[in-house]
């Protein structure tokens, strides 16, 4: 039986092309899984969608400015910075509009999302007509491609992941308090605005990092599905975080293998696998509930006992 | 319900408390208005509210919905800013009091995300560890504060259950334990009996009495429910934008309540009568209207 996965990862000609994507995929899995639980619990999944789609507008601006070929392998730092700035501006804009209370958050996100997509489409076409867009691969821009990823991208992803995980660890206590009870948190000395800003910043950076592999459309899924699935499996925060990591890493590995074996888009395969895992976890929880056993606790939460240390501890 | 008394050392004295002899909380001519907003008027919510909360007393702030009770509480906690007048907490500004963790706060429980995968103990620990540097693990002091808080509210038995699986009364106890875990000298409770049945309200009154007696806390309860403040407080301030009365709970006559709530409540509460007095007629120098 011929396994393409083995061939891609061991052949001297092909391995240098595929290994950066595999390594980056695993790093993105760890990064997104670390943020995913808070994103889901704070109901910020749709904000993530708005931020990731803003990246499309950023790619358009970068193309007009002539900053590397959009979507191509080794796309430059300039493009990444422009896209990051767009994502961050979108996140802060959504947060600001929602906080002011004059526009509901879902409306604000919807506006930012479609405006960014439209801007990206117009600017990419403009850049193409002016000969500045290089080899624009719309499909890989939207849905990602493992061929987009080179070793510099892997190194950048590792640095970003280390920085975000370190930031999460440093801010874990106030961030958890903020996420659990935002209205009351300031009375306990938690800087809630700073927490929201930090999380939006992390979301923007993670989105840009995940974009090359998963694409604009699918990057959000990496930030939502691992946490949403983990929450089906346990009541204990520590276990939910571990499940989130296991599901994200497993989903990325399985998605990569499917992508290699069946010659399908990498990002789409990863998201499909993660969606299937979520579906299975949801069905399992529903089945346990119908059987009269406590939902997520049945997966191992209820026996955590007094020894379970607070996640912020 | 089983409870145990925490060690007296676990609840510290407030900063400077030994030297401070004034009121626990002092409101002087406090006024506050929300800015006008699209789709709704802003307007004055509090007007020249002057009130002293005595150290160690249980004060109930009673009034109709929208009467400014929660706003006064949020100004004290710096959850809202932009008032005129002066608020002092144990002689400190509200901001200083918050930084020094003088006040414990129990919000309306519906505002917390109870679907979080946290145990009740973890919720309390969040408060006990707030302010701890990220590189430090909880020490004996934080653990003692957490366990004592759980004990004093009678929550040790269900402390390891997921917060989302607790009853309304149990969640309320956990929220009180969370407020106590930062070892405050003043406890503020916002609408603590909303959604709790009559027997739960009785247990709540007993709990307040125990916190007061065993920990010596100054307690301020904000509620629109007369039963909550009548059963668990030494004194009641009636607030509906302005401060109408300050009375003992027995002084909440139908006439007083009718003025505060702006409708006849005699049919609800029956004939209560003692020594309610209007602010304009008050001659007691210890009373601050």
What is the pLDDT at residue A303?
Answer: 35
Q: What are phi and psi of B29, to 5 degrees?
A: 45, 50
Q: Is B283 exposed, middle or buried (0-12, 13-18, 19+ CB in 10 A)?
A: exposed
B118 neighbors A180 (Cβ within 8 angstroms): yes
Q: Which of A171, A180, A187 sits opposite B98 (nearest CB)?
A: A187
Q: Which of B78, B134, B160 sits opposite A304 (nearest CB)?
A: B160
Write out pLDDT tens, residues A151-181.
888 898 899 999 999 999 999 999 999 999 8
Sign of CA dihedral B128, B130, B131, B133: positive
B112 has a chain A CB within 8 A of its CB: yes
How is chain A split into domains, by residue range? 15-217
Contacting residues of B for A297, CB less than 8 Å apart: 162
Closest CA to A132 of A183, A73, A181, A59: A59
Contacting residues of A for B103, CB less than 8 Å apart: 187
Tell which of A169, A176, A297, A312 to mutate to test the B interface (max B CBs under 10 Å): A312
ipTM of the complex: 0.77
A84 neighbors A240 (Cβ within 8 angstroms): no
- Estimate the crossing angle of helix B140-152 against helix B168-180, to 10 degrees: 140
Q: What are phi and psi of B53, to 5 degrees?
A: -105, 120
Distance to chain B for A173, nearest Cα, Å: 7
A232: CB partners within 8 A, 6+ apart: A278, A281, A282, A284, A285, A295, A296, A299
Whether residue B112 and residue A170 make contact (CB cut-off 8 A), yes or no, is no
What is the pLDDT at residue B41?
Answer: 56
Sign of CA dihedral B64, B68, B72, B78: positive
Q: What are phi and psi of B285, to 5 degrees?
A: -65, -20
Could you count the other beta carbons within 10 Å of the beta carbon of residue B152? 24
Whether residue A181 and residue B134 make contact (CB cut-off 8 A), yes or no, is no
A149: tokens are: 């990823």
B286: CB partners within 8 A, 6+ apart: none
119-178 of B, contacting A, C-beta below 8 A? 119, 121-123, 125-127, 129-132, 134, 137-138, 159-160, 162, 164-165
Whether residue A311 and residue B118 make contact (CB cut-off 8 A), yes or no, is yes
Sign of CA dihedral A291, A294, A296, A301: negative
B251 neighbors B274 (Cβ within 8 angstroms): yes
Contacts of A276-285 with C-beta under 8 Å, sequence gap 24+, read: A277/A225, A277/A229, A277/A247, A277/A250, A277/A251, A278/A225, A278/A228, A278/A229, A278/A232, A281/A229, A281/A232, A281/A233, A282/A232, A284/A232, A285/A232, A285/A233
Helix (H) or strand (E) holding B150: helix B140-152
A230 neighbors A37 (Cβ within 8 angstroms): yes
A6: CB partners within 8 A, 6+ apart: none
Residue A240: closest C-alpha in chain B = B117
Q: Which of B134, B159, B162 sits opposite A172 (nearest CB)?
A: B134
In angstroms, the CA A277 to CA A286 distance is: 14
A277: CB partners within 8 A, 6+ apart: A225, A229, A247, A250, A251
Could you count the other beta carbons within 10 Å of the beta carbon of residue A7? 14
Residue A168: closest C-alpha in chain B = B134
What is the pLDDT at residue B130?
Answer: 81
Q: Kindly list the structural domains of chain B, giving each domain's residue range(s) and its CATH number in brackets, ordered by start.
A: 22-102+185-244 (3.40.50.300), 111-183 (no CATH)
Residue B183: closest C-alpha in chain A = A188
Distance to chain B for A25, nearest Cα, Å: 28
Strands B25-34 and B58-62: unpaired
Whether residue B160 and residue A308 make contact (CB cut-off 8 A), yes or no, is yes
Closest CA to A199 of A27, A37, A39, A9: A39
| 10-residue averages of pLDDT along chain A (313 residues) | 76 82 90 91 81 84 72 60 84 74 69 86 83 66 76 88 94 91 88 88 86 77 91 90 95 91 86 94 89 53 37 46
B233 neighbors B199 (Cβ within 8 angstroms): no
Contacting residues of A for B126, CB less than 8 Å apart: 173, 176-177, 180, 188, 310, 312
- Taking one residue from A and the other from B, the number of pairs with CB-CB distance under 8 angstroms is 109
B77 neighbors B6 (Cβ within 8 angstroms): no
Q: How many residues does chain B have?
A: 289
Tell which of B89, B115, B122, B133 to mutate to test the A interface (max A CBs under 10 Å): B122
| 10-residue averages of pLDDT along chain B (289 residues) | 43 51 87 72 81 88 83 90 90 89 82 85 88 83 88 88 85 90 89 74 81 86 78 80 68 60 42 43 49
Specify the DSSP class assigned to residue B86.
Answer: E
Tell which of B42, B103, B118 to mutate to test the A interface (max A CBs under 10 Å): B118
Could you count the other beta carbons within 10 Å of the beta carbon of residue A23? 17
Contacting residues of B for A172, CB less than 8 Å apart: 134
A168-187 b/e with 16+ CB inside 10 Å = b?
Answer: beebbbbbbbbbbbbebbbb
Whether residue B111 and residue A184 make contact (CB cut-off 8 A), yes or no, is yes
What is the pLDDT at residue A245?
Answer: 95
- Estimate the crossing angle of helix A237-262 against helix A15-41, to 10 degrees: 150
What is the pLDDT at residue A75?
Answer: 53
What is the pLDDT at residue A251?
Answer: 93
The CATH code belonging to domain A15-217 is: 1.10.3470.10
What is the pLDDT at residue A294?
Answer: 54
Whether residue B138 and residue A313 make contact (CB cut-off 8 A), yes or no, is yes
């Amino acid at each position: 039986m011929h396994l393409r996965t083995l061939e891609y990862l061991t052949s001297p000609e092909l391995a240098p092309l595929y290994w950066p994507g595999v390594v980056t995929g695993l790093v993105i899995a760890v990064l997104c899984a670390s943020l995913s639980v808070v994103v889901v619990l704070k109901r910020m999944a749709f904000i993530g969608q708005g931020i990731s789609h803003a990246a499309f507008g950023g790619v358009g601006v970068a193309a007009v400015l002539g900053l590397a070929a959009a979507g191509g392998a080794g796309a430059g730092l300039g493009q990444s910075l422009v896209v990051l700035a767009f994502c961050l501006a979108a996140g802060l804009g959504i947060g600001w509009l929602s906080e002011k209370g004059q526009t509901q958050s879902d409306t604000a996100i919807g506006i930012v999302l479609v405006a960014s997509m439209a801007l990206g489409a117009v600017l990419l076409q403009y850049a193409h007509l002016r000969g500045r867009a290089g080899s624009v691969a719309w499909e890989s821009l939207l849905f990602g491609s493992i061929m987009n990823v080179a070793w510099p991208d892997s190194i950048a992803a590792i640095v970003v992941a280390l920085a975000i995980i370190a930031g999460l660890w440093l801010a874990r206590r106030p961030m958890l308090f903020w996420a659990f009870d935002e209205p009351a948190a300031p009375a306990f000395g938690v800087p809630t605005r700073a927490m929201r800003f930090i999380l939006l910043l992390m979301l923007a950076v993670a989105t840009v990092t995940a974009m090359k592999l998963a694409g604009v459309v699918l990057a959000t899924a990496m930030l939502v599905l691992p946490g949403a699935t983990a929450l089906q499996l346990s009541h204990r925060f520590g276990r939910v975080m571990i499940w989130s990591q296991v599901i994200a890493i497993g989903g990325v590995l399985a998605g990569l293998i499917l992508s290699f074996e069946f010659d399908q888009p990498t990002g789409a395969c990863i998201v499909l696998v993660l969606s299937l895992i979520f579906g299975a976890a949801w069905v399992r929880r529903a089945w346990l509930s119908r059987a009269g056993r406590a939902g997520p606790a049945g997966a191992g939460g209820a026996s955590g006992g007094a020894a379970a240390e607070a996640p912020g501890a | 319900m089983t409870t145990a008394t925490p060690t007296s050392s676990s609840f510290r004295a407030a900063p400077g408390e030994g030297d401070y002899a004034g009121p626990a909380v002092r409101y002087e001519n406090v006024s506050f208005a929300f800015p006008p907003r699209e789709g709704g008027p802003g307007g004055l919510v509090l007007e020249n509210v002057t009130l002293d909360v005595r150290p160690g007393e249980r004060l109930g702030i009673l009034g109709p919905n929208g009467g400014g009770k929660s706003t006064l509480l949020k100004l004290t906690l710096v959850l809202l800013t932009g008032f005129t007048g002066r608020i002092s907490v144990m002689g400190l500004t509200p901001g200083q009091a918050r930084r020094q963790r003088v006040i414990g706060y129990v919000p309306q429980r519906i505002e917390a995300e109870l679907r979080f995968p946290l145990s009740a103990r973890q919720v309390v620990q969040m408060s006990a560890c707030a302010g701890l540097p990220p590189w430090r693990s909880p020490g004996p002091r934080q653990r003692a504060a957490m366990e004592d808080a759980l004990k004093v509210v009678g929550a040790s038995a269900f402390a390891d259950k997921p917060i989302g699986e607790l009853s309304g009364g149990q969640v309320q106890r956990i929220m009180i334990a969370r407020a106590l875990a930062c070892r405050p000298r003043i406890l503020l409770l916002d609408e603590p009996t909303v959604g709790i049945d009559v027997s739960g309200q009785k247990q709540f009154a007993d709990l307040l009495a125990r916190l007061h007696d065993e920990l010596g806390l100054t307690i301020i309860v904000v509620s629109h429910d007369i039963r909550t403040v009548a059963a668990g407080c030494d004194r009641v301030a009636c607030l509906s934008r302005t401060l109408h009365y300050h009375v003992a709970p027995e002084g909440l006559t139908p006439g007083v309540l009718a003025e505060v709530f702006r409708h006849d409540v005699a049919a609800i509460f029956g004939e209560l009568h003692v020594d309610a007095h209007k602010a304009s007629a008050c001659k007691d120098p210890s009373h601050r209207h």
